[in-house]
Amino acid sequence: MTDLDMNWVLSTPALLGVAAGSIALLLVLIMKFKVHAFLSLIIVSLLTAVATGIPTTNLIPTLLVGFGGTLASVALLVGLGAMLGRMLETSGGAKVLTDALIGRFGERRAPLALAVASLMLGFPIFFDAGLVVMLPIIFAVARRLGGSFLGYALPSAVAFSVMHIFVPPHPGPVAATGLLGADVGLVLIFGLIVALPTWYVAGHLFGRYVGRKYDIPVPDTLKGSTGNFEEFASAPKVGTVLTLLLLPIGLIFLNTGLNMAATAGLVSLDDTWVQILRAIGETPVALLITVLLGMILLGWRMRKSGNLVEAVVDSSLGPVASVILITGAGGMFGGVLRASGIGDAIAESLDAIGLPVIVAGFVIAAVVRIAQGSATVALTTAAALLQPVVMGNTSFNPVELAAIVLALAAGSVFAGHVNDSGFWLVSRFFGMDTKTTLKTWTVGQAIVGVVGFAIALAIFTVAGLF
């Protein structure tokens, strides 16, 4: 324990009161007064530190330790993931892959083909960006084949949603992974195990149901959007796109596999070749290698100028700056909570009522999500509150830690409604009124949260048997 992690003397009820008050203040600032989440988290972190009695000499250092520690693990992953997604978007790789999938699946399974493409593209591309990339293709397919637009669009939207909330390098699971000390490779593996069946229930089955129930015409928006870097388009081969999507997953799996093999005594972590392969498979290195390969395959090999390639890559960082800063501020909030002793008070309260940590995390994330809308804020807030509880319990094995992260992620996506920007993105792009969007998108997001939590809880339970 460092000097910044000292617990100051306050009673448990007082600490719990400060925790409840800090969350309530955060929600009021964001929801009622429309203060940016980044500023709100800083304000609440500062006031929470003062309220819990952290001396003024340790006030700013405590804030900076939490902020910087989170950014150290988050900024690289989010930035590199955004670069890869931007190159796939502007090169035309997204459309090439989608066309190939439709050709293979056939017209009757077009919604499934679009959703499969969205699942694959959802690995490096954020929810809103990925949905905008896919919408012109979804529009074209829906106009060509007929039927309710919702039957084509909702499965793809849910696909991007589950990948964004459950699978690194997206900021939510990355931030929670860092805050709770989980292994990012295991979170990625089990995130896919949670995301795919969750999409099948909430995206495929529920999407087919609402497509039959609600006859939504194809909107007239985004008929021919081509992006801001048309000269970068090159229509790469399907194999090239698949390589760029699967390479980072394979490299990260390599790192995790070697760690598991070392635990089983099959290899030694002291061997030079093992250390080299593990370093290559570290998530930032794996993404860096993939981004560099993308610059080669999608840019320089296609005889694009260096200035153009640099401009495309640079254009990806602006949109994610806010996400990175909000995530860092969430880490700052966690640092204050850890130093103040609020986490220990929560641990005592959870023990007193007998609520398992994984269930408590899901409930906290879901409540914050419903109250203020942002999945990222909900996830980082829940992870920050549970951080001292989880980090102080050495009995959790790595798989259990990954399952806790995914349970929090499930809670953070639960029932997005009118206070969520994604709700309005879907409503306006899909041409649905508010009532219909509540009946379709909000219900679908609630299904994602419940099914995702059920699978995470099953993983946690099984892992605890070994």
| pLDDT tens-place string over residues 296-339 | 999 999 999 999 999 999 988 887 787 788 878 878 887 787 77
Residue corresponding to tokens 């190159």? 87
Range among 35-39, 423-427, 460-464 rated most confident: 460-464
Q: How many helices (H) and strands (E) does the chain have?
A: 22, 0
Give the pLDDT confidence of 343-399 residue by residue, as tens digits: 566 555 655 666 788 998 898 888 878 766 678 778 888 888 888 878 777 788 899
Give the pLDDT confidence of 190-224 residue by residue, as tens digits: 999 999 999 999 999 999 899 888 988 888 654 44
Q: What is d(CA 82, CA 125) in angstroms, rounded to the nearest whole number?
A: 6
pLDDT given for residue 349 in this prediction: 63
Average pLDDT of the residues in 52-58: 86
Terminal alpha carbon distance of the chain? 30
pLDDT given for residue 411 in this prediction: 93
Q: How far is CA 368 from its chain centroid?
A: 16
Q: Quick check: 95 pLDDT over 90? A: no
Q: What is d(CA 184, CA 402) in angstroms, rounded to the nearest whole number?
A: 8
**Cα angle: 323, vertex 328, 330; to 5 degrees:** 95
Give the domain range for residue 103. Answer: 3-463
pTM above 0.75, yes or no: no
Please, are residues 369 and 415 in contact by the beta-carbon 8 Å criterion?
A: yes
**Dihedral sign (CA 429, 430, 433, 437):** negative
Better-scored residue on pLDDT, 378 or 8: 378
Q: How many structural domains comprise the chain? A: 1
